[in-house]
Amino acid sequence: MATTKLVDVIFDAEENEGVPDFWYFEELYRHILCITIDQALSLPAAKQFWESYPLDDTDGIIKSLDLVAEDLKAPGSTRAVHKVIFQAFEFARMNPDKFTLTHKAKRKGYDERTPNAVAFALLFQAAHDFAAKVASRRERSMQNNQDEFRTAHAGTDANCGQTSRREARDGGFPEAERHYDVAKLKMPSLKTNPGLQAAGLLLWTTQRKPETKALEVLRDRVAAQTLDYFISRRMSENIVHMHLSRHERERTGKDRSLH
């Protein structure tokens, strides 16, 4: 988690002038950053960043970056990704207040850029993909009215609810395609909506250790019908490998569907 948050905070190209846009907005390059930072982020450096960021401790944040940079400055550190990282760190050292939690929270649209919003955007994309497969469309969106996710969901729904994203192949911004207008987002109480209650039960079952045999059976049945996607070193490596393999097939003229 420390790796993901450090990349999110320090390498946001809209804040850090030392980061070329495509290194943050293009999926391939973003995950190369994640892998490289994860390799260099020792336990002391991760702990330093994780404890400093919530407290707006700029000295502590910069110290964590210095620890990462020290590891990357080993002999043979000439890769392009290292150059981008050093540029980003130098800008952060010169402008530490831009990378505090307080600064992020005050920025317009911050709620729509949080990890919660990213999760909602992925959820909307999955809904669009499913709708395309069944020749249908998303007609409504409902969420429990708890405050924790209210702003992030509403903002992301307005921006992403009617569009799907496709990663650009030329290093630019992801492409967005508008599909249709949908009914207004509704946020009823979990206590009054059976659909939300069912969704909550399924999530509760899959995310917690079952206390009874019946819940264990239900969890296994649900798990057999789902695919878990999560941010991890292995997932980043798979994403990078996928893109590099596709580029190689395109380069050699062997880009064809794999079955």
Write the pLDDT tens digit of every residue in 241-253: 888 887 787 777 7
Mean pLDDT of 93-115: 69
- What pLDDT shows up at residue 95? 92
Mean pLDDT of 193-199: 86
Residue 43, phi then psi, degrees to nearest 5:
-60, -45
- Cα separation, 89 vs 86, in Å, equals 5
- 25 against 75, higher pLDDT: 25
- What pLDDT shows up at residue 230? 58
Q: Are 163 and 178 a contacting pair, CB within 8 Å?
A: yes
The residues facing 178 across adjacent strands are 163
User: Is 70 exceeded by the pLDDT of residue 199?
Assistant: yes
User: Is 50 exceeded by the pLDDT of residue 257?
Assistant: no
Q: Are 131 and 138 a contacting pair, CB within 8 Å?
A: yes
- 184 against 38, higher pLDDT: 38
Q: How would residue 143 be classed by pLDDT, with cut points 50, 70 and 90?
A: confident
Residues near 140 by beta carbon (within 8 Å), at least 6 away in sequence: 182, 183, 186
- Cα separation, 170 vs 168, in Å, equals 6
Q: How would residue 173 be classed by pLDDT, with cut points 50, 70 and 90?
A: very low
Lowest mean pLDDT among 7-11, 42-46, 165-169, 231-235: 165-169
- What pLDDT shows up at residue 253? 74
User: Is 80 exceeded by the pLDDT of residue 212?
Assistant: yes
Angle, alpha carbons 169-172-177 (nearest 5°): 75
215-235 b/e with 16+ CB inside 10 Å = b?
eeebbeeeeeeeeeeeeeeee
- What pLDDT shows up at residue 79? 79
Helix axes of 80-94 and 27-40: crossing angle, nearest 10 degrees? 80
- What pLDDT shows up at residue 258? 41
Mean pLDDT of 54-67: 92
Mean pLDDT of 123-141: 76
Residues near 38 by beta carbon (within 8 Å), at least 6 away in sequence: 3, 233, 236
- 199 against 256, higher pLDDT: 199
- What pLDDT shows up at residue 117? 60
